[in-house]
Each structure stands twice: as structure tokens, then as C-alpha cells.
Structure 1
Amino acid sequence: MGRLSIWLGTALLCWTFQVLAEDATPWGEGYFPNTPLTDQDGQQVHFFDDLIKDKVVVINFIFTGCGDSCPLETARLRQVQQLLGDRVGRDVFFYSISIDPLSDTPEVLKAYAARFKVGPGWRFLTGDKDQIDQLRRRLGLFIEGVDNGRSRDHNLSLIVGNQATGRWMKASPFENPWILADQLANSLQNWKTPSAEQSYAQAPDIRPPSSGEELFRTRCAACHSLGPEDGQGIGMRSVGPDLLGVTQRRERAWLSRWIREPDRMLAERDALAVMLYQQFNRVAMPNLRLNQQDADNLLEFLQQETERQGTLKQAHAANDGAGSAQ
């Protein structure tokens, strides 16, 4: 009888610890609202039960009428999706939830996803605005005075996490896609797959980026490549045109204004702006709110990179010619 009492006491203590542990984490079933939502295919789902329970997920909030940050964020996540490949929809799940559900019907969201060539495993969702706002508050992605202000500004953070383990983190939409993909596929999954061994002798030289290069990497590279060395032709950045040589193809004054005021130029029906809009799947160039100095720095970098890669190409051609002559 004494042993049974001890066993029952131990079992009760373990159960108590388990309950306390579950209560201690804010990321369990009792924390998340089970918000009803509708995806781009018209399927009805619930946020906790159908979308995040026991899953590794990345969640962001967008609206398709956004002319600045949302297209950039969607393009960046598209790169992450391509890096993860068929793991998306199997091991990792992407969710983009509209903050403008009155405008963003399932049909509108489906067309938006198609413009960005989004693959399987990524759902675009709409629902009741008040319930979506409450969900954003619970996820820590709602800033009072910004998200409920008169303007259409909103919190740009992503939230990524593993609901089963309770590991969650915020991430920037300007995050390097390789870093974000690694967090989703490895850190949050806690996979035991060892990293591929590579020689440090093959590591590239590290040089401090210029202001223009930093702007390109953080703002432009989600949609644009910069020549063969930067992913041209492998589908990573096919949302917009490759920018190698663009300073030679276009007038500088036009480029400068296009960088700073693409929305106004499209509204004015600028011929070249409209042509690019039509050519690249009707994805509008976002207004990134860059000033004149930013535009000058960016154009200087694009010119320097065009010249640098041109010099490298000539050197490689000369080496190839010398080798064939031997």
C-alpha cells in the first residue's frame, strides 16, 4: 500500500509538472485564437486547429493593394520557399493573412499569389477584420497607433515558429533568405542532418559593402538579380528584370525617378514603366521610400558592379583563349 501511495504521488507530481509546463508557455492551444479564415481556394480553415497545430510555420500580414513593403516581403518569402523546395507544405508551412479582408477576397488573393508564382504549401488567407486584428495582437504583430491609424502602415515583422516545441521568433522581411530558410528547416525543425562540410579555402573574400550595395541587398535583391554571379537564370529572383547593365540601357534621370517614385510613374502611364509592369506579370515596382541620395548610391553600385563583372568576363575569356591555344 505504501508503494502504491508513493507511485500515485509520483504520478500526480509528474502530471502536475506537465500541467504547469503547459500553462507556463504562452504558445499552447489556450493562447492562440482559433480564428476562422478562408484561403485563396475558398477553403474554410481555423487558425490553430488547421494551420499551426504541431507545425513549423512562417506567418506574415499583407494586403494586395500595398504599394511598398508587401510586394517586397512576398518576393523575399518566395525566395525562401524556393530554397526549401518540396519541404514547404510538408515540413514547413507559409501563411500570408490579409489585413484588408474587405478588398482581399479569395479570388483577389489567388491572383496575387499567381503574379508572384507562389508554389504549393503557401496559403493566402482572408476573414473577418476584427478577428484578424485580434489575431495580430496575440502574435505581437499589431502596433497601437500604427496598425489602427488612419494610414495603411502596418507592422512589417514576420513571425516564425514551431508550435509543438513553443519556439517562436520574429524576423525582418529584409532578412537574408538563406538565413531564414535555415531557421525554418533546421533550427526550428531540430533536424539531425549534419551540415555539408566545405573548405574554408573556397570561401569568398569578404569586403565591406558600399551604401549602394547594402540598399541593393536589403531592398532590391528580393526581386532582382545582378548578373550570372548573383542568381540570374536560376529562378531565385525572376519577379523583376536582371539589373546588370541597366545603367547603360536606361537614362540615369529616368532610373533615378523610377527608384524613388515608381507608383507615380505608373499612375502617369509612363510608357517604359507600363511596359515593364506588363512584361513582369503585372507586379508593380514597390515604392521603397528612397530619397535622392539613396538613388544615387544605388545607381553608382549598379554601374560599378556592371563594370566589375564585365572585367571578370573579359579576363575569363582571355584565360579560356590562352588555354585553348596551348
Structure 2
Amino acid sequence: MERNPYSWCKGALLGLFCLLFVQGTTASPWGADYFPNTLLVNQHGEEVRFFDDLLKDKVVAINFIFTSCTDSCPLETARLKQVQDLLGDRVGRDIFFYSITIDPQTDTPEVLRQYAERFRVGPGWQFLTGAEQDIDRLRQKLGLFIEGVDDSPDNNHTITMIVGNQSTGRWMKASPFENPYILADRLGNSLHNWKQAVAMDNSYEEAPELRAPSTGEQLFRTRCSSCHTLGDNEHAGMRGIGPDLLGVTRNRDPAWLVRWIKEPDRMLEEKDPLALALYEQYNRVSMPNLRLNDSHVHALLAYIEEETERLMPAEPAPAPMDHSAHHQGDGGGHSDGHGDHQH
């Protein structure tokens, strides 16, 4: 009997179709059997269930904070605010943000509401509290709990957030210091399996030449740009949590500026007048302690000064006036408007 040369191909295609069908109908392993349906309360006093209300069939960004934190938590919140601004009204529609406190004794719904307001958080972002043991279990299930660190009495916690799509089972950890455009792209495109068309008008011919950033630029981009702009930079379209820093090295006392970067929490405790004025002016959001050493502070200030000079060059000092012309000809006398009277 003559063998059909296409029979193997048909069988292979049928097998591939069956495999894809089975994979497509298999539920994600990261479902209700894995995630606890923990009872939580958001900043509006509303009770929600972690899996049923917050996670199921959603693309989410989740981090753990506490409102009295003076270092990493404000940076995480400020960075996520930038991501929310980039994603616009998709946050609350097909992307959801959740910040869960690790200090539920202090962070009541009202405290969380006030914290969210200070950072001008928009819709689709819930700040949540609950029972401490339930929150610890959530951190463990999400892979954001390290024994000996996250169970310390000092409210230490892993400086990592997690983003994912529950329905597909795709989860990934992310740094809270990540570029906001990258985080927005992950949440808005890759975790949605690129369902939304993206208009791309760029070409390789127009790509700028890459250069290695200085230490100061790296520090600014990873630490400071969460809250501050620097003139006409890539984040200039986003409203900063704090002031724009272009020209700050010219306008502030150098010694004050160095100390403010190194230990802003202590300066606020000491009621430094300028520190208190900035705190009130910028919506009572405290400048976080970035734990920078002296070399990092000087590198950061050098970069800010370089960018200030590049974007806002200082005007050259006027040349000294040559007075010799006033002592020539008539012996230096001049009319005062009263005839020929001489001085």
C-alpha cells in the first residue's frame, strides 16, 4: 500500500493542536489553591479578599510598605506613582496596584488614606492592612519574605516588589528603583501578552549613541528621580513629589545640602527651619534617608552641577570697566548739564 506523504504531517499538527488546547485550558497553578483568600481592609475602610477581589484574573503590582518608613518605602511609593502616571486610566481598569502595610498596628485605614493623599495617588491603587500573621503569610506566598530579615522587630523588609498576571501564572520580581518606563511596559504590555497595539515610530538610525553613566547619574536615576526632576530630563513630563533640582547646588549652602542628603530624618527631628519649610511645602512628604556615604553624596552633587551647567549655563561675569577714557582729552572734566561747569 502506498503511504500518504502528508499523513505524518497531519498527525503532527493534530498532536500540536491537542497539546496547545490542553495547555490553553489548564488552569494556572497560581490560583485559589495557592494564594490565601486573606481578609484585608483598604484605605477607604472597605473589606476585600486577597484572591477573590484583588488578584483573580488581574494584572497587578504588589509591594509591602509601612508609612513611618524613612528610607525605601517613600521611594517605592513615589516610583509607583510615576508608573501610574504613565499608565493613566488603565490603572483600575486592567492593571491594579496594591501596597500592603507590614505595620498594621500603626497603619490604620485612615493613616493609609492620608499617606496615599500625600503622594497624590489616583484610582486603582489600594493601600491595605490586616492581621499581622495573615500579612506575613501573604509575603511568604509571594516570595517577598526572607527569614531573619522580614521577621525582625525593626520593620525591616525585602526591598522588592512583584508584578504578575494571575490568570496566566506569569509572575516576576522587580526592583522598586527600576526605570518607571520599564515597569509600565511590563505591566501594560508584556504581562498582557502584547494585546494592545503599540505605536512605534522609532528607527535604529535615529537611536542616540549610548554612553556609560557616571556614578552620580546612576544614583540620581535610581534614587532621586523617584521624587525629583532635573530640568529637561526624561521625567520632566511627570510631576515630581519633591522640587526640581536644577540649580540646587547654586541656591543652597553646600554644607547644608550635603547634610540634607545624608541625614534628612535627623534634620527634621532637629527642626531645621529650611528642612521643615520644605516638608510643609511639598505636601508633608519626608525626604527619605538614602543611606549614601560621602563619596556618593559628592558624586551626586557633581552630576547635578554638571547638568545645571549644561542646561542652564551660568552667565559670564561682566568684564571690568576701563576708566582710562574718562581721564583723557579735557582732563577728565565732564558737563553736568549746567553749561560749562567742570568738576
Q: Name the TM-score class by shorter chain.
A: 0.7 to 0.9
Q: TM-score, normalised by structure 1?
A: 0.87
Name which of 144, 161, 175 aligns with 1:141: 144
Alpha-carbon contact 2:220-2:300 (below 8 Å) kept: yes
Deviation at 1:156, TM superposition (A): 1.2
Match of 1:71 among 49, 52, 74: 74
Partners of 2:25 and 2:180 lie apart in 1 by 37
> 2:100 aligns to what?
97
Larger radius of gyration: 2
Q: Report the CA distance between 1:207 and its aligned residue.
A: 1.7
Alignment check: 8 A CA contact 1:221 1:237 kept = no
With over 3 angstroms needed to count, the CA separation of the structure-2 counterparts of 1:304 and 1:164, relative to structure 1, is same
> Corresponding residue for 2:215?
211
Q: Distance in 2 between matches of 1:198 and 1:39?
A: 41
Asked if the contact 2:246/2:307 (under 8 Å) is kept, the reply is yes
Q: CA RMSD in A?
A: 2.0
Equivalent residue in structure 2 for 1:161, among 161, 164, 169: 164
Judging changes above 3 Å, is the alpha-carbon distance between structure 1 residues 302 and 204 closer, same or farther for their aligned structure 2 residues? same
Report what 2:43 is aligned to. Answer: 40
Bigger CA drift: 284-293 or 204-213? Answer: 204-213
Q: Is the 8 A contact 1:225 1:241 kept in 2?
A: yes
Distance in 2 separating the partners of 1:280 and 1:198: 37
Which position in structure 2 is the counterpart of 1:6? Answer: none
Picking from 271, 274, 282, the partner of 2:273 is 271
Structure 2 counterpart SS, 1:284: coil
SS in 1 for 2:211: coil
Query: How far is the alpha carbon of 1:200 from its aligned partner?
Result: 3.0
C-alpha displacement at 1:273, in angstroms?
0.5
Structure 1 unaligned runs (5+)?
1-12, 315-326
In the alignment, which residue of structure 2 is the partner of 1:5?
none
Letter in 2 for 1:156: I
1:182 maps to 2:185: yes
For the 8 Å contact 2:112–2:128, the answer to whether it is kept is: yes
CA separation of 1:41/1:157 partners in 2, compared to 1, >3 Å: closer, same or farther?
same
Are the counterparts in 2 of residues 29 and 48 from structure 1 also a CA contact under 8 Å?
A: yes
In the other structure, the counterpart of 1:323 is: none
Identity %: 63
Please identify, of 74-83 and 143-152, the stretch whose mean Cα deviation from structure 2 is larger. Answer: 143-152
Aligned-residue offset at 1:199: 2.9
Q: Which residue of 2 aligns with 1:260?
A: 262
1:226-285 alpha-carbon deviations (Å, 9 max, x no partner): 0023444x3x14200000000000011111111110000000001111110000000000
Separation in 1 of the partners of 2:76 and 2:279?
18
CA distance in 1, matches of 2:105, 2:190: 37
Q: 3-state DSSP class of the match of 2:126?
A: strand
Asked whether the 8 Å contact 1:222–1:237 carries over to 2, the reply is no
Q: Partners in 1 of 2:229 and 2:31 — Cα distance?
A: 41
Equivalences, count:
296
Give the deviation of 1:27 after TM superposition.
Answer: 0.8
Matches within 5 A, 1:10-89: 21-22=26-27, 25-89=28-92
Q: Structure 2 counterpart of 1:248, which letter?
A: R
* 1:303 partner amino acid: E
Structure 2: which 5+ residue stretches go unaligned?
1-17, 316-343
Q: TM (normalized to structure 2)? A: 0.83
- Equivalent position of 1:229 in the other structure: 233
CA deviation map 1:116-142 (0-9, x unaligned): 000000000001000000111011001
Give how far 1:19 is off. Answer: 12
Query: Is 1:107 aligned with 2:107?
Result: no
- Give the 5 Å matches for 1:188-207: 188-190=191-193, 191-207=195-211
Q: Secondary structure of the residue that 1:165 maps to in structure 2?
A: coil
Aligned AA for 1:30? D
